Amino acid sequence: MKQARPYPQVVISRKAARSLKAGHPWVFEGEVVRAEPAADGTPVANGGVVDVFEENGTWQGAGLISQNSKIRVRMVTRNANDRIDEAFWARRVAWAWQHRRVAMGGRALPGCEPDTNCCRVLFSEADGMPGLIVDRYEHVLVTQVGTIGMELLRPVIYPLLLKTLREDGQDVRAIYERNDSPSRAKEGLDQYKGWWEGQGAEVPETPRIMVVENGLKFDLDIENSQKTGFFLDQKYNRRAVRELAGGRRVLDCFCHVGPFGLNAAAGGAEFVRCVDVSQTAIDLAAANARLNGLEATMDFTCANVLEYLPELARDRKRLREEGGPFDLIVLDPPAFTKSRGTVEHASKGYREINYAAMRLLPRGGYLATCSCSHFMTTELLKRAIADAAHQANVQLKQIEERQQAPDHPILWGAPETHYLDFLTFQVV
């Protein structure tokens, strides 16, 4: 590369260069050979921009360095003409919002709100913003920052988000920061949460928000709920359950605040039983049922699903008390594994819950099942489900194989961005 660039340099191993060329955006601590100041003497700064070179002098791109993290550099561009300034980040924000408008703008249910009213606006590496998550809930953006680079860029990127969305006619007024994840410690960052009081942002009186998704109302507490407030990645998978639910008795397992169950009820289910281990989640699910006028066809149980399903299979009286037999079961468990080392244990868990569900379903019944961990690959999940079917002595007729919604884009070359698999079957 002949032109001079103003950034410090990180020299990486040949192995790391091969990974970058294949499309993966990370350089790990052990892959850094050395770091050098810029040509004008500017030193490497934690969270700052660095140029990345292979040992043979080949420029590989530019990224943000995290000196306290095992992921030492997160790439943001492979274009040597890019200067990492405000205009660069403005383009990234604009491209990300354009992606949501194109992928989701025309898919709203008839008579319902636009799908972009509640969606993920920025998805970290997949949108070229490594370590930054931004979810939109009607007029509020909820953010999570996981890297020192994005922490330092907040005063630049947040106003750009507000400007881009408002120029597109979107009613976005405030930003709430959920920077309370323990994982921030890996970057040397403190934990905190609260309203961002920067340029152009309002400060609402309450972190409670009424949102509408798929025509259904949800009362969210963005201050205390899981993640940023809601699991937006299942938006279209919930519609798939709605399409299957008409006239059926539905068991919604790991229901959280009830979105699958509510969609089933809205789709004409005869009855819906929602089950979750958290009493708080059950209370919120029941409140959301009342909010939508669906409480007459829904009921709620606080129980550990891993114990609850086998209990129903053993005790037919208990099954009838819970509203069964059921002919559609939804399994939306939390991630059973968050590391490669526990995948085998996780596979056993997925096999067990799917086996338990298949035992409860009659021939001709329906199963919707998923995994939300990228370590549990599509192939491993399918193998666990197939083993469960063999053990239950049933055969599965696949209806659909789905993934996360397109506002959580999958970046090819970065398998970590593909983390959600959702499959529906008829049991025959």
Active site members: 372
Among 291, 228, 227, which residue's Cα sits nearest to residue 258?
291
**Antiparallel, parallel or unpaired: β 140-145 and 132-137:** antiparallel
Q: By the 8 A CB rule, do 330 and 252 touch?
A: yes
Alpha-carbon gap, residue 127 to 406, rounded angstroms:
12
Distances, alpha carbon 385 to alpha carbons 118, 121, 357, 380, 418, in Å: 31, 32, 11, 9, 19
Q: Residue 132's Cα: distance from chain center in Å?
A: 12
> Which sign does the torsion angle of CA 261, 262, 263, 266 carry?
positive
- Tokens 């970065």 sit on residue: 414
Largest pairwise CA distance in the chain: 78
Q: In this structure, what token pair is assigned to residue 409?
A: 């884009």
> Which sign does the torsion angle of CA 252, 255, 257, 260 carry?
negative
Q: By the 8 A CB rule, do 249 and 328 touch?
A: yes
Distances, alpha carbon 89 to alpha carbons 94, 161, 316, in Å: 9, 10, 59
Distances, alpha carbon 148 to alpha carbons 110, 151, 338, 367, 389, in Å: 43, 5, 22, 42, 46
> Which sign does the torsion angle of CA 218, 219, 220, 224 carry?
negative
- Beta-bridge partners for 287: none
Alpha-carbon gap, residue 140 to 158, rounded angstroms:
12
- The type of residue at 229 is G
Q: State the number of CA atoms in the 13 A half-sphere of 162 facing the CB.
A: 19
Cis peptide before 25 (omega within 30 of 0): no
Distances, alpha carbon 239 to alpha carbons 258, 295, 299, 368, in Å: 13, 19, 20, 12
